[in-house]
């Protein structure tokens, strides 16, 4: 009986040691796309391990201790319904962890958010801690590629947001175009098309307005036409609103631009004068409409100021009326 008891004790001890090793190994294998099960405050790694060894940890962290990464790829306009997500976190719980890394950006913050901006913002709104996986040795390059892989197939993130994010990372030498092609498993043509958004002239983008409505293949065509000639650029500015409102395809954009280009070439007096401020800011553009009548067009930034009531539309209208009435009175005399 004593022998059997000794064998059982040894078996139990070995099993306990084995289970602990497995638990630690499983913590290392957590990835950002695996759901949590039974994670709570006590479920973080609390094993006496040499502190010089950096390992991934699963933690619950107050949102106030996390700062968003400088190269986060979600524009504010594409954050979606954060309130609904916040309610889900409270009622259902956080099913996927976020990815963070340690940071030294001020004493207030302990971690930098790499993946999971919507969950982070929703947790802030809900006033709850965030489940995260801490990546101790994640470089900027690895962070950028992890973020790109996470978001490439998300339908709630526009081609425009991806393209502008990729362009910024490449311009700042965080990653190379080649890295994106290899990591995402996408064609060179696809990545090149996504990078087209950053090469579209500002005045053309302003005329289009909401660039998030423009698909990557259409953005590539707009870039190509813009680089052809000033006349093509003028044509794109004229049809800019139609491009975004109707979601024109690449072929349709070229067809519409050629229509305008034909009219411009037939009539050298077609109006397309961009008016700039003293410091070079685009204020508005005089253009001929489809009926060849002069019309006034404001760029995206000015429209935003009007919509936000930072430029009072009534005052603007009154000033314009005064100028026109003054000219009419002079003519009558």
User: What would the pLDDT profile of 112-147 be if each residue is shown by its tens digit?
Assistant: 999 999 999 999 999 999 999 999 989 999 999 999
Per cent of the chain over pLDDT 90 is 42
Q: Is the pLDDT score of 23 beyond 70?
A: no
DSSP-based helix, strand, coil % in the chain, nearest 5: 55, 10, 30
**pLDDT value, residue 54:** 58
How do residues 170-196 score in pLDDT, each as one tens digit?
Answer: 999 999 999 999 988 999 999 999 999
Where exactly does CATH 3.90.1530.10 map onto the chain? 54-138
Q: How many CB atoms lie within 10 A of CB 212?
A: 16
Provide the percentage of residues in the chain whose pLDDT is more than 70: 76
CB 166 within 8 A of CB 149: no
> Is a pLDDT exceeding 90 seen at residue 4?
no
What is the mean predicted confidence (pLDDT) over 271-283? 67
What average pLDDT does the segment 68-83 reach? Answer: 89
In this predicted structure, what is the pLDDT of residue 280?
Answer: 61
What is residue 18's predicted lDDT score, i.e. its pLDDT?
43
Average pLDDT, the chain: 79
Task: Please calculate the CA angle 116-120-121 and round it to the nearest 5 degrees.
Answer: 120
54-138: CATH architecture: Alpha-Beta Complex (3.90)
Q: Reply yes or no on whether the pLDDT at 210 is more than 50.
A: yes
- What is the per-residue pLDDT for 56? 77
HSE-CB at 114 with a 13 A cutoff on CA atoms is 27
Q: How far apart are CA 11 and CA 5, in angstroms?
A: 10
Q: What is the mean pLDDT of residues 34-51?
A: 36
Contact 193, 219 (CB under 8 A): yes
Q: Which of 112-126, 138-152, 236-250, 272-286 is least confident?
A: 272-286
Residue 10 or 312, more confident = 312
Read off the pLDDT band of 270 (50, 70, 90).
low
Count Cβ neighbours within 10 Å for each residue of 314-324 and write b for 16 or more, e otherwise: eeeeeeeeeee
Over residues 154-170, the mean pLDDT reads: 90
Q: Tell me the pLDDT band of 264, cut-offs 50, 70 and 90.
A: low
Q: Using an 8 Å Cβ cutoff, are 214 and 220 in contact?
A: no
């Amino acid at each position: 009986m004593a022998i059997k008891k000794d064998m059982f004790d040894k078996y139990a001890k070995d099993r306990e040691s084995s289970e602990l090793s497995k638990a630690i190994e499983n913590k290392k294998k957590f990835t950002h796309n695996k759901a949590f099960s039974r994670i709570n405050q006590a479920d973080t790694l609390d094993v006496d391990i040499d502190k010089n060894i950096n390992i991934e940890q699963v933690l619950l962290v107050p949102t106030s201790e996390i700062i968003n990464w400088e190269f986060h790829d979600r524009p504010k306009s594409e954050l979606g319904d954060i309130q609904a997500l916040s309610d889900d976190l409270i009622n259902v719980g956080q099913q996927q962890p976020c990815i963070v890394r340690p940071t030294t950006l001020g004493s207030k913050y302990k971690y930098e958010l790499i993946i999971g901006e919507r969950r982070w913002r929703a947790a802030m709104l809900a006033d709850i801690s965030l489940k995260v996986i801490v990546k101790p040795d994640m470089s900027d390059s690895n962070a950028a590629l992890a973020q790109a892989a996470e978001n490439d197939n998300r339908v709630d993130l526009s081609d425009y947001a991806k393209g502008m994010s990729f362009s910024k990372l490449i311009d700042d030498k965080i990653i190379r175009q080649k890295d994106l092609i290899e990591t995402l498993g996408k064609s060179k043509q696809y990545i090149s098309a996504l990078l087209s958004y950053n090469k579209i002239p500002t005045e053309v983008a302003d005329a289009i307005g909401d660039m998030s409505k423009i698909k990557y293949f259409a953005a590539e065509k707009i870039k190509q036409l813009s680089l052809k000639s000033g006349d093509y650029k003028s044509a794109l500015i004229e049809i800019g609103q139609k491009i975004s409102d109707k979601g024109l395809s690449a072929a349709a954009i070229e067809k519409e631009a050629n229509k305008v280009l034909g009219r411009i070439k037939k009539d050298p007096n077609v109006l397309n004068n961009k008016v700039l401020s003293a410091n070079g800011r685009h204020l508005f553009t005089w253009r001929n409409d489809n009926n060849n009548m002069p019309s006034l067009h404001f760029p995206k930034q000015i429209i935003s100021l009007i919509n936000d009531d930072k430029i009072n539309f009534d005052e603007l209208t009154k000033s314009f009326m005064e100028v026109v009435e003054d000219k009419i009175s002079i003519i009558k005399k």
